[in-house]
Amino acid sequence: MILDIFFPNRCLDCNRIIDGNLLVCNLCFEQIHFTHHNYFDDNFIKEKCKLLFPVENTFALMQFEKENLSRKIIHDLKYKSRENVGKIVADWTTERLDFKNEKPDLLVSVPLHPKKLKERGYNQLHLFTETLSEFYSIPFDHELIKRNHYSKAQALKDKQHRLETQHTFSITKNISGKHILLIDDVFTTGNTIASIAWEILKAGDNKVSVLVMAIDA
């Protein structure tokens, strides 16, 4: 296409021209710090979750370190209108995450407040979640959880504010006896995930597992 000639797709890290359906070149891809977590085993994110709420299984795709490539990837997804990054990261996830014979019943991503959704134009987790849903044949529900309060982006808050539970969530439907996989982009303190998890756990005889694109260690 003409646009591809004048505006070629470039590697997010080194700026080399790459295929249109890629995010980074092969050389830079090797620089991404994948966690190599096993969904069923104890890992760092599971240890952190267990301090906050009863959790079944956990998986983080990447390490979210200062100045590393995973930070650039998620920043582009959230703040540079590159919703397609969610599909690429989901493809990386499916290559590394095996539910075996214990798939969750439902995929639920952390919602944005309607005002934030209008400002951004999309929820950065929706395409990611939908891609996983199609690959694993697990249904998703973008309406199950409602965010009740609007606030500034998590990345703009200082550490103390992130430690406080600024957002509250509510369940919009009756749900019981389900194993819910909660999906978020970055796990920092875990307060957001924990707030949603407790709403799900209180709603009925449910179980909660967690999947995030990256964990901030």
Domain count of the chain?
2
* pLDDT tops 80 at residue 7: no
pLDDT of res. 4: 53
pLDDT tens sequence across 12-68? 999 999 998 899 999 999 999 999 999 999 999 999 999 999 999 999 999 998 778
pLDDT tens sequence across 138-148? 999 999 999 98
Query: Do residues 131 and 40 both lie within one domain?
Result: yes
| Locus of tokens 């199609």 | 134
Query: Do residues 188 and 203 both lie within one domain?
Result: yes
Query: Do residues 26 and 44 both lie within one domain?
Result: no
Query: Do residues 26 and 126 both lie within one domain?
Result: no
- For residue 157, which of 123, 184, 192 has the smallest C-alpha distance? 192
Query: Do residues 106 and 201 both lie within one domain?
Result: yes
pLDDT of res. 158: 55
* pLDDT tops 60 at residue 92: yes
Query: Do residues 20 and 39 both lie within one domain?
Result: no
What does pTM read for this prediction?
Answer: 0.88
CATH number where 41 lies = 3.40.50
Query: Do residues 23 and 124 both lie within one domain?
Result: no
Kindly list the distances between the CA atom of residue 76 and the CA atoms of 58, 130, 145, 176, 187, in Å, as whole numbers in the listed order.
24, 19, 25, 36, 17
Determine the average pLDDT of the residues in 3-15: 79
**Contact in structure between 44 and 188 (CB atoms under 8 Å):** no
pLDDT of res. 154: 53
pLDDT of res. 81: 86
Determine the average pLDDT of the residues in 92-99: 97
In this prediction, residue 168 has a pLDDT band, given cuts at 50, 70 and 90, of confident
In this prediction, residue 97 has a pLDDT band, given cuts at 50, 70 and 90, of very high
Query: Do residues 27 and 48 both lie within one domain?
Result: no
Lowest-confidence pick of 40-54, 115-129, 153-167, 197-211: 153-167
Its domain, for residue 20, covers: 1-31
Query: Do residues 72 and 155 both lie within one domain?
Result: yes
Query: Do residues 189 and 139 both lie within one domain?
Result: yes
Task: Name the residue with higher pLDDT: 118 or 167.
Answer: 118
pLDDT tens sequence across 66-88? 778 999 999 999 998 889 999 99
3-state secondary structure 122-140: CCCCHHHHHHHHHHHCCCE
